[in-house]
Amino acid sequence: MIVGVDSVHDLGGMHGFGPVAVEVDEPLFHAPWEGRVWRLLAAVMGSTTIDRFRYTIEQMPPAEYLAASYYERWLWAIEHLAAEQGILDGTDRPARVARPSPSTPTWAGRFNRGDRVRVGNPVTSGHTRVPRYLRRHLGRVERIAFAWPNPGESAATGIYGEAELVYTVSFAAADLFGPAADHSVTADLAESDLEEP
């Protein structure tokens, strides 16, 4: 499957969706199969990364993605990951993938708190966690948040690589969405997705 990064999951700021429907006394699962799918994720997650799980969902054809319920999207991804891992054909388990622990970075980054930064333009056929609505925009570093493996690499390889710094960056919503917007938006962005302004 080859798809571009500009897939339908990248929804932030899109027009045309209506009011947020809030259920009263919402059950944890809306049907028994949803709970089963929720738990079956564990069968494939032990041998891959959270990023590859997300990347797999992102490969759903857009019309299917929008028509599917939340746990249907999980189901689609688990089916694909289980096939990819070969666990539907045999009893062999693929190697376990160790998930990193939360860590505070111990090294200095390219940017410091208060710095102006420009978001990169990570056009790739792979996976990125830079939302489209932030590409090429100027923001300000609020803080160095933590260190974590690069999501694009973790999605491509299915294992966690070397950690890099992740920055919490603040943007004026007026820059993103026009002068009527008076709020700010923050996002957590990998150092490799940020540039000098």
Partner 1 sequence: MSDLTPAERAEILERHLQDHGHVHPGEVDAAIAAAEAASDDGPSPALGARVVARAWVDADFRDRLLTDPVDTISEYQPQTVPIAVLEDTASVHNVIVCTLCSCYPSGLLGNPPAWYKSFEYRTRVVREPRAVLAEFGVEIDADVELRVHDSTAEQRYLVLPLRPAGTDDWDEQQLASLVTRNAMIGTGFPLPP
In the region spanning residues 71 to 110, those forming contacts with partner 1, defined by CB under 8 A, are 71-72, 75, 78-79, 82, 87-91, 93, 99, 101-102
The answer to the question of residue 1 lying near partner 1 (CB under 8 A) is: no
CB closer to partner 1 out of 101 and 106:
101
Dihedral of CA 103/104/109/113: which sign? positive
Q: How far apart are CA 49 and CA 151, in angstroms?
A: 9
CB of 15 to partner 1, least distance (A): 8
The answer to the question of residue 113 lying near partner 1 (CB under 8 A) is: no
Binding mask 142-171 for partner 1 (x = CB under 8 A): ---xx-x--x--------------x-x-x-
Q: Give the Å distances, CA to CA, from 81 to 42, 46, 128, 129, 134.
A: 11, 11, 19, 20, 30
Contact 154, 190 (CB under 8 A): no
Total chain residues near partner 1 (CB under 8 A): 77
